[in-house]
Structure 1
Amino acid sequence: MKNKKTLVLGASKKPEKYAFKAISMLVEKGHSVLAIGSNTGDVAGITIRTKAIPLKNIDTVTLYLNPVRQREYYNYIIETKPKRVVFNPGTENPEFYQLLQSNGIKVEVACTLVLLATNQY
């Protein structure tokens, strides 16, 4: 299996949140995970940071932020140059799709958990 370095944006240490489940499943499936959320914490051995840090070689950014909260990360994500951005249910944002695509970044409107569970990640 290919390790896809993934940034989980909108990470949470609350077990009922999908971002928490995504971090856990990504780690379980052997992917390197970085996590940024509004509160610090630890999920499956991954530390959640509250500040955007410069990143390199990111394959996938998976979003768990609503479109309004995504705005402050537009430039950050584009500068990080991931291969793709996964918009999980509830994060759909056509304005951001266009920005990403015009910067050569693939847009995937999907559920990270489903992609992982069905080996399509």
Structure 2
Amino acid sequence: MIKDKTLIVGATPNPTRYAFSAAEFLQRAKKEFIPISIKRGEVLGEPILDLREKPRLEGIHTITLYLNAKHQEEWEDYLLSLQPERIIFNPGAENPSLFKKALAQGIEPLNACTLVMISSGQY
């Protein structure tokens, strides 16, 4: 299976939020993304999946987090079960516990900024 999708965790329809900007940057870079959150709505025509339902997803290469560590706790096992290649902990989303769990499962954890990574060609 080809892993080429980015899961935006903490997605929002609010265009003033960084999670929304990440979707814009990914779309411009022609990267497929899936928004997921406890919020409803859509992002650039993509419906926001309900994180509470823990939908079965395949082909996730990258998880980019826009939730702080406290709000990640409930979803850690679910996110790791998606077996991404990497997890990006954007500023404010750093989580040493999940970082270590990802490493232990062979997932590359990065304390980085998705927007900067895309803009600088590091994505």
TM-score interval, normalised by the smaller of the two chains: over 0.9
Does the 8 Å contact 1:36/1:52 carry over to 2? no
Residue in structure 2 matched with residue 13 of structure 1 by the alignment: 13
Does the 8 Å contact 1:101/1:107 carry over to 2? yes
Deviations 1:65-92 (A, max 9, x none): 0001101111111110000000000011
In 2, distance between residues paired with 1:116 and 1:52? 27
Cα root mean square deviation, aligned: 1.2
Residue in structure 1 matched with residue 68 of structure 2 by the alignment: 66
Unpaired runs of 5+ residues, structure 1, are: none
Q: Work out the percentage of aligned pairs sharing the same amino acid.
A: 38
In 1, distance between residues paired with 2:111 and 2:19? 15
Question: Post-superposition, which runs of at least 4 consecutive aligned residues in structure 1 deviate over 6 A?
Answer: none
Give the counterpart letter for 1:117 in structure 2.
S
Give how far 1:27 is off: 1.2
Residue in structure 2 matched with residue 87 of structure 1 by the alignment: 89
Q: Which of 55, 58, 65 is matched with 1:56 structurally?
A: 58
Residue in structure 2 matched with residue 41 of structure 1 by the alignment: 41
Give the counterpart letter for 2:19 in structure 1.
A
In 2, distance between residues paired with 1:24 and 1:40? 18
Q: What is the TM-score when the length of structure 1 is the normalising length?
A: 0.93
Give how far 1:35 is off: 0.9
Unpaired runs of 5+ residues, structure 2, are: none
Residue in structure 1 matched with residue 79 of structure 2 by the alignment: 77
Deviations 1:14-42 (A, max 9, x none): 11100000011111211111111121111
Does the 8 Å contact 1:13/1:41 carry over to 2? yes
SS at match of 1:61: strand
Give how far 1:56 is off: 1.1
- Equivalenced residue count is 119
